[in-house]
Amino acid sequence: MTRRSGAAKTPRRVALISLHTSPLAQPGVGDAGGMNVYVWQSALRLAKRGVEVEIFTRATSSADRPTVQAAPGVLVRNVVAGPFEGLDKHDLPTQLCAFTAGVLRAEAAFEPGYYDVIHSHYWLSGQVGWLARDRWGVPLVHTAHTLAAVKNLAVAGDDVPEPHSREIGEQQVVAEADRLVANTRTEADQLTDLYGADPERVDVVTPGVDLDCYTPGSRQQARARLGLDVNETIVTFVGRIQPLKAPDVLLRAAAPLIRQGNGARRIRVLVVGGPSGTGLARPESLIELAADLGISESVTFLPPQPAQVLADVYRASDVVAVPSHSESFGLVAIEAQAAGVPVIAANVGGLSVAVRDGESGVLVEGHDPARWTQRLDSMLADPALLQSMGTAAHTHAQSFSWEHTADELLGSYTRAISSFAARAGKRQADTDRSGVADRGGVRRRGLRAIRRTGVA
């Protein structure tokens, strides 16, 4: 394949692969979550820098158009692979061949070199990206978002571990990717320690937050818009309802404080999200837990909300809780802080980066509800502390922006293109010296010609 000569440049066109969930899906529904936000927001910022972005995702409805111009410079390609509905994420490996075929066919409609780099998100997409990389002759950049080996080290008591097949698939992608993007230094170390990644190929790129959307505002007005009592103390959980995210820890921790019945501090727990993952097996489990704890009247459940409403959810809160057993970063924590709200979070994964312990919020070791009760009570009992933490939280969040994320991603893409071109040049030089024809390259070019002309 002919590649452009000269020094590596930033890419003109990037193929983002997000197989198992569309960036256009509402976060908090099904498998849609922080990764959706990451893919969508980074795509928007890359497009604003003049990079054309095409996102390949699996069609989940017969109403999905094959291509959607989702924003200027951002095209979403809905690839048909398997049934539109009712396909669990763990069943998606059965559709890798079908999805890969759709991705390769889309590229085959253009001249060689149409895409400059592939960026895959999550291990399933990495499997597709690995094959497309070899077919198209362009580098693969991969972001894991979550890692099975890490999740399996912190499985909740009522959850099930990730299958061994996923760990194998992740290992393959880590070995094949030209560059790996980690959300934090902690994740970078996990890639090298648990998966044997070459540290020289790992770039740490911190996710961002939409600083135009998530801003401080009037708590009273936000509560009025949401229909919440202005006189209650509100502790909020935002996310998918599943054991991994541990919303049960928050309910168990808040229950003793609610039952105290302190008239000066009536506590309400606000849960915003929908069942997901293993939580789908018992979608009513959190409602049942609230009833068992005797706090049903003090717990409000809301479905997943669009960003503008979610900003009001944060503004309406006194504290936002992120009790997850595992988080590669924790976008909810940054969004809440950007809105000027302190966070209480488990000291796991990237949350130690997202939350500045003792300043913008509190990090809690472990998931013992009694310890969470103590730390939550100490926060809520000190209004001056909450106010100072809210101010510090907003300041802390300003250092996280999607603009910065896009800049860092472009740097990773450029390094991938440069090293890929250097290796290709070395292989060609070795071939020229040995006088051996590049049979693989000839075969690929021949197949490409057959595909384009239809000649068999």
Residues tagged in the binding site annotation for UDP-N-acetyl-alpha-D-glucosamine: 26-27, 34, 240, 245, 305, 327, 335
| Closest residue by Cα to residue 117 from 420, 427, 455 | 420
Distances (CA, A) of 212 to 26, 38, 216, 222, 405: 19, 16, 10, 17, 15
| Closest residue by Cα to residue 347 from 339, 358, 337 | 358
Q: What is the rounded distance in angstroms from the CA atom of residue 349 to the CA atom of residue 66?
A: 37
- How many CA atoms are closer than 13 Å to the CA of 94, on its beta-carbon side? 7
Strand 299-302 versus strand 319-322 pairing type: unpaired
Strands (E), 208-312: 233-238, 267-272, 299-302
Provide the Cα torsion 405, 411, 412, 415; round to 10°.
180
| Closest residue by Cα to residue 293 from 369, 364, 379, 230 | 369
Strand 67-71 versus strand 74-79 pairing type: antiparallel
Count of positions (residues) in the chain: 456
Strands (E), 379-441: none
- How many CA atoms are closer than 13 Å to the CA of 152, on its beta-carbon side? 12
The torsion angles phi and psi of 156, rounded to 5 degrees, stand at -65, 155
Binding residue numbers: 20, 26-27, 31-36, 89, 122, 146, 166, 240, 245, 305, 314-315, 317, 327, 335
| Closest residue by Cα to residue 244 from 141, 156, 142 | 156
Binding residue numbers for 1D-myo-inositol 3-phosphate: 20, 31-36, 89, 122, 146, 166
DSSP letter at 260? T
| Closest residue by Cα to residue 299 from 307, 311, 288, 308 | 288
Supply 110's token pair: 């253009």
Paired strand residues for 79: 58
Q: What is the rounded distance in angstroms from the CA atom of residue 243 to the CA atom of residue 228?
A: 27
Q: What is the rounded distance in angstroms from the CA atom of residue 220 to the CA atom of residue 226?
A: 10
Paired strand residues for 180: 142, 202
3 state SS of 388: helix
Tell me whether residue 173 is exposed, middle or buried, using C-beta atoms within 10 angstroms of its C-beta: 0 to 12, 13 to 18, 19 or more: buried
Binding residue numbers for Mg(2+): 314-315, 317
